[in-house]
Structure formats: structure tokens, C-alpha cells
Amino acid sequence: MAAKANVKLSCLLSRLSYRRGRRVPILRIFMETRMPQAFKRLSLPLLALALMVALVTTANAAGTTLKVSLWGDMTGIVPTDLGMGMAKTKGATHGTNSHMGITIYQHTIKAGPVTFEVKNNSEKTIHEMLVLPIKDTNTPLPYIKNENRLDENKTNSLGEVSELDPGKSGTLTLTMKPGKYLLACNVPGHYASGMWTLLTVSP
Ligand SMILES: [Cu+2]
């Protein structure tokens, strides 16, 4: 193939010698002779490589998907403090109230991009999901008692899917660092009612 290209090149060059004084861009000569050959030889491996890069990139960009179910109804009563907050139920990995809660199907995920696919499966109650970094499970989170909810200004929430109507879904994508997190609903009374779950992000 290289020989063929050289013949073509020398042909071209000899043709050029008849056109004295006329400048032919060197790039054009190169394009007409070497490039097609080089492309033909490289096209298949290049295509394979491009496909592999695309696949790997897509896989990384997608990261982890975590399905989150918000469920349960308040039945009209807003509790003051049912004692079901994270720091008050030692060793628990999630709230244990039977009226409402947050359910995730993986409690440990890998660091990197995480897409939270959140659905409100309640019948008539608005719910939301906050992602809160926590030091440990024994330190109470800042709480506004008279409003029955977490103090969002002091919790360093990474983001939220806020106030979903019953049956509605929302997504949130975050780049998660290794550590412990709490997923919690901060509609008044809901966190205290057990609407939280722990999430561990491993390196
Ligand atoms: Cu809620």
C-alpha cells in the first residue's frame, strides 16, 4: 500500500514539475496521496477505539442510580417529636415509624456521580428528599423545634428533590464523596416521624 502511495506521489510530483511557477499546497499533495491509505489502514481500529471510549465515558457519566421511595400519609396529625430522629434511634439505619418513611434499595453505594430517582408513593401527602452529610449517627442534626423540621441552613444539604405531590417523581444528580449521609424528608413533622434513612458512600 505504501509503494502504491509513493508511485502516486511521484506521479503527482512529476506532473507538478510541468506546472512551473504554480504553487500547489503541500497539504493537498499529502491529502491526495498518503492520507487515504493511512485512513483505510487505521479506520477499523480507530472506530473500535472510539466506540470503546464512548462506551466507557457513557458508563462513567451515568454513575450510580439510586431509587428512593417516599411513602406514607400523615392522616392529618402533625406530631411534635416522636423521638424517631436519627440520633435517637441508636443503631437504626432508617426511621421505624409505620406511618411514613424513606426506602432505598442499596444502603451503600460507590463514590462518584449518583442520580437519585425519587418517587412519592404516598396517597395524599407531599414528601421531599434532602441529602445531608453527617458526621456520625449519634450527633443530632440542627432542628427547629417550633417548626418541627430540620434547620436546612445549618445542615449543609447537598441538594434536594423538593415537595413532590403524591404519585410524582423527581431526580437529583450529585457527585458524592465517601462518607455518611442522611436522606430525609423535611416537610414539617416528617423527619421526626421517621422519614429518614442512612446512606453510606464508599470510596
Ligand atoms: Cu415526608
CATH of the domain at 185: 2.60.40.420
Going from the Cα of 148 to the center of ligand 1, the distance in angstroms, rounded, reads 12
111 and 186: one domain? yes
pLDDT, averaged across the chain: 77
DSSP string, 87-99: GGSTT-SB---SS
- Name, of 32-41, 94-103, 135-144, 192-201, the range with top average pLDDT: 192-201
pLDDT of residue 40: 56
Number of domains in the chain: 2
How far is the CA of 175 from the CAs of 63, 99, 202, in angstroms?
9, 31, 13
Query: What's the distance, CA 171 to chain centroid?
Result: 9
- pLDDT tens digits for 52-70? 656 555 554 568 999 999 9
Distance from residue 31's CA to the centre of ligand 1 (Å): 65
Asked if 47 and 106 sit in the same domain, the reply is no
Helix (H) or strand (E) holding 128: strand 127-134
* Residue among 155, 107, 111, 159 at smallest CA distance from 131: 159
190 and 105 within one domain: yes
CA of 85 to the centre of ligand 1 (A): 13
pLDDT, tens digit (0-9, with 9 covering 90-100), for 133-149:
998 888 888 999 888 89
Is 11 a residue whose pLDDT tops 50?
no
**Do 80 and 180 belong to one domain?**
yes
Please give the residue range of the domain that contains residue 51: 2-60
147-163 pLDDT tens trace: 889 999 998 899 999 99
More confident residue, 95 or 7: 95
Residue 127, C-alpha cell as written in the block: 414528601
**Same domain membership, residue 137 and residue 84:** yes
User: How far is ligand 1, taken at its centre, from the CA of residue 70, in Å?
Assistant: 7
Question: Residue 186 C-alpha to ligand 1 middle, in angstroms?
Answer: 6
pLDDT digits (tens, 9 = 90+) for 17-29: 444 445 555 445 4
User: What is the reported pLDDT for 9?
Assistant: 45
Burial 90-125 (b: 16+ CB within 10 A, else e): eeeebbebebbbbebeeeebeebebebebbbebeeb
Res 116: pLDDT: 97
Q: Does 69 lie in the same domain as 52?
A: no
Ligand 1 center–CA 63 separation, angstroms: 27
Domain end: 44, 60, 76, which one? 60
CA of 33 to the centre of ligand 1 (A): 69
**C-alpha–C-alpha distance, residues 137 and 199, integer Å:** 11
Residues 127 and 87 in one domain: yes
What is the whole-number distance in angstroms between the Cα of residue 190 and the centre of ligand 1? 5
128 Cα: distance to centroid of ligand 1 (angstroms): 6
Question: 100-134: per-residue pLDDT in tens?
Answer: 899 998 999 999 999 999 999 999 999 999 999 99
157 and 69 assigned to the same domain: yes
Between 128 and 79, the higher pLDDT residue: 128
Cut 0.75: pTM above it: no
* Other beta carbons less than 10 A from residue 130's beta carbon: 22
Q: Contact at 8 Å (CB) between 128 and 169? A: no
Q: Given this model, what pLDDT does residue 139 score?
A: 85
91: pLDDT strictly greater than 80: no
Q: In 3D, which of 196, 183, 198 has the Cα closest to residue 97?
A: 196
CB distance 86 to 137 below 8 Å: yes
Tell me what pLDDT residue 85 has. Answer: 65
φ/ψ of residue 32, rounded to 5: -75, -20
Say how far apart CA 90 and CA 84 lie, in whole Å.
10
pLDDT (0 to 100) of residue 159: 96
